[in-house]
Amino acid sequence: MPDYAFVYLAPQSPRRQELLNQLGVRFELLLPRPDEDAEALEAELPGESADTYVQRVCVLKSACSARGSNAASAPSR
């Protein structure tokens, strides 16, 4: 099994956390700031294709995670 050093987990899904724990992957949750609406980030826009939706949501979550970043506290690689 590959040795993953560390990943950031933006989704707060308990199932994803469980799967990562089972695989031995260390992770840190990137929680939304109090002024951010995590659910609104994932709202599908009218007429939006699946590809566009995934790209848009990933970019938005990444940007929000970087802004509210606990990234400075990540373990060194």
Which H or E run includes 7? Answer: strand 7-9
Q: Which residue has the tokens 């990444």?
A: 62
pLDDT tens digits along 27-75 = 888 777 777 777 777 889 999 999 999 999 888 877 876 765 444 344 4
Find out whether 65 and 59 touch, Cβ atoms under 8 Å: no
Instruction: Tell me how crowded residue 6 is: count the other CB atoms within 10 A of its CB.
Output: 12
Residue with the bigger pLDDT between 77 and 32: it is: 32
The pLDDT score that the predictor gives to residue 63 is 80
